[in-house]
Structure 1
Amino acid sequence: MKRKVWWISVPIATVVIGTGCLMYFWNLLTPYWQAEQRAAEYVLNHTPIDRLESYSVFTADGVEDVFRGQDQFGRSWYAFYVPQLDRSFVLPASAVLPEREIAQRAAAYGMQVESIVLGYVANTNASASWAKAGTAVYEVTGRSHGHLAFLYFNASTGQLLWKYALVSS
């Protein structure tokens, strides 16, 4: 009799505990998913983009959502949604340099590239002087002379806008 109770109660307890864990993580992650969903809906409703192809997050100038998609005529666009401003900025994909070209430019500055992220620096009072008109940028992270370094390139022209290296004290 004890064995029968054991074989019945253990699977039930496992299901209850598993359901509890699933609900915990679901509730923990739901706010993040809602923010991404809101950003995607905003971009689809306020930009030429009709179909989303990719998504990333840019954190250099606060958190922003970066989408790539196509309009109804098949043209590719980038849309940058800035939650703090509740606004998006769009740029034709043809106006953005390819990542490989930015990687080559970063290597010319002596950087070992680890990541390249596209983003937008909006025109705000806190913006850098080079971004007063709003600028799409590539943030390149890597190693330069053994130190973690960041280079920011204008995404349309490839011009180096700003560089920063972390140096240990």
Structure 2
Amino acid sequence: MFASGGTKQSPEVQTTILLTVVGEERLEILNISELSAEDKKDPQKVLQALETYCIPQANVSVERHIFFTRAQREGESIEMTELRKLSQSCEFGEMKDSLIKDRIISGLLDNEVKTKLLNTDELSLEKCLQICKNTELTRTQLKTVMHGDKMVSIHAVNNGRYGGKKTTGESQERKKEGQ
């Protein structure tokens, strides 16, 4: 509407532009709607009628079922950000953050983290997410450190430390001297 300069036009012209863009199928929807002839000239009322027809109403019970059965999947982040998206259509109101927190705890694969969260006094969603993020970060860093230590240990053994065979020129000279 803005690009065509339609926002500067009368509501009737705006509605005409809108109807031209939405196509024949949407025009049929509008024709079977209960809008009066006058309302069909109002672009806001036309848009509302099209949205009401085209956008299905959410079944809150189904949306909540999906939310409450959602658990962490293998390889998925421990904080399960998808829960925030799922909660949008559940109409939880003021309980939203508390229910997201509880669902995170219930759906965790890692029992150690679950226990830590359950043992935390006055656990808010923010505190829960922080503990989850810190746990994941610590595990990632430990894997890196452990992987790095393994490489150092293998390198040290290969270089003759820790009781391994020495392969340096010095050890070969000792063998010659002893012969």
TM-score strictly above 0.5: no
TM-score (norm 1): 0.25
Which has more helix, going by share of residues? Answer: 2
Which has more strand, going by share of residues? Answer: 1
